[in-house]
Amino acid sequence: MSFASLPMASTVVDSILFRDAFGTAPMRALFSDVALIQRYIDAEIALARAEAKVGVIPADAAEVIARQSRIERIDFDHMRHETDIVGYPILPLVHQLVAMCGDAGRYVHWGATTQDIMDTAVALQVRDALDLVDAEIRDLRGILADLARKHRDTPMAGRTHLQQALPVTFGYKVAIWLAMFDRHQQRLAELRPRVAVVEFAGAAGTLASLGDKGFEVQAAMAEELKLGVPATTWHVARDGFAEAVNLLALVTGSLGKIALDIMIMASTEFAEVYEPFVKGRGASSTMPQKRNPISSELMLAASKAVRQHAGLMVDAMVQDFERATGPWHAEWIAIPESFILTAGALHQAKFALGGLIVDEARMKHNLGISRGLIVAEAVMMGMAPYIGRQQAHDVVYDACRTVNEKGGTLAEALVALPEVTAHFDRAAIDRLTDPANYLGLAPRMVDRALALSAQARG
């Protein structure tokens, strides 16, 4: 590609450098200018066919509109110039469609308003974009299920407040990730019928321009486009689109949580997991030893950006009267970018988790660095039936202080206490202080999560 032919992109979603890091080609194509204008044309054709079906306009006029309204005949430079003047793209588009359709052109955009066409086009985009997100989540759930199953019994340190707390398994950690995305897929299915609806209501939303044919046209147009019919006009009721972007914020928020876990566990001091090895990926320009968790970093960045757009969409819900004076425009920024960033983050997650390198030996090593203190609760609960819960707590507390102040292991400190050896021999103490023997129901929680996820996948 020569310098002269370089595109003029100025954001990461279209940048020749960053677009594949922050998005995917299918999602970018869905929200491209050409795809959006095609959706405008689809909405205008569907409107004409619907109106012909119920006798509002002549059937032959609708046929001409459907046949002649072709995106390859659009003068995009002229449409851009006129949009700059008008402020909206529909009147400039209608001017060109009217010219394309000859005498039938008089029936283009009959009874509609600009926002009808634009909202319907975006509803079509969102419907199809949700299909892409749905497929990506489904793939990711399969990857997470395999990872949880494989590491059902792989012990590692569970951490709270970034301190070792109790032993868990890596499969248990992954099962928690899996359950989040099971819920996201359920949310997506529930959301779809609320957002994939037609908008056709006329100037102030009352369908006054079509007399008593308004509802019939609306229903026929929805059928043409395979969209639902809303209860009322939603020109200024933006909860559907706001819900869609806030769902994306939940999805990317979960990806951000996974990314943060991976990045910390991949740090030199933890060294428990690594993103898949690809020569040169994550390399530093100055430090040859570096292997940065690039996919996780991109997932985290996307989660932060989509969260901001989710707030913008909620803010844009506050609209005045029957047609807003500006909040609507904010959606034009937030919706495409949120879907593209979400698709990119899901793609990065599939790569990172699909080939995640898990160092089980390092997890076992880290589980032992507390010299048994991580299972202090296990020892306390094991002793409680013999000497009482509080007495057991005090004995183990003293043993932990000995380890912290004088070194050695918890098992060695316990062996030196008569209150302990009166009830437990060294073999029993070793069993009590082995972290692998205090996993609670973590492995069985993995089983339950896998069963529920498989059931949800049908």
Indicate which residues carry an active-site annotation.
Answer: 161, 284
Q: Which helix (H) or strand (E) holds 202?
A: none
- Given a contact cutoff of 8 angstroms between Cβ atoms, the answer to whether 379 and 396 are in contact is yes
What is the DSSP code (8-state) at residue 228?
B
Q: Which of 81, 88, 27 is nearest to 328 (CA)?
A: 88
Q: Which of 67, 43, 47 is nearest to 57 (CA)?
A: 47
Cα(194)–Cα(231) distance, rounded to whole angstroms? 10
Query: In 10 A of CB 285, how many CB atoms?
Result: 6
Rounded to whole angstroms, how far apart are CA atoms 339 and 336?
A: 5
Rounded to a whole number of angstroms, the CA Rg of the chain reads: 30
> Distance between CA atoms of 69 and 13, rounded to whole angstroms?
30
State the CB neighbour count (10 A cutoff) for residue 394: 14
Angle between the 90-100 and 59-68 helix axes, to the nearest 10 degrees?
A: 110
Beta bridge partners of 155: 169
End-to-end CA distance of the chain: 47
H helices of 111-167, in order, are: 114-150
Are the beta carbons of 453 and 179 closer than 8 angstroms? yes
CA distance 183 to 188: 9
Backbone phi, psi, residue 434, to 5°: -85, 115
Report d(CA 27, CA 37) in Å as an integer: 16
Angle of helix 442-457 versus helix 170-195 axis, rounded to 10: 30
Centroid of chain to Cα 123 = 19
| Torsion angles phi and psi, residue 163, rounded to 5 | -110, 145
Cβ–Cβ < 8 Å for 299, 349: yes
Return the C-alpha torsion angle 214, 215, 218, 222, nearest 10. Answer: -170
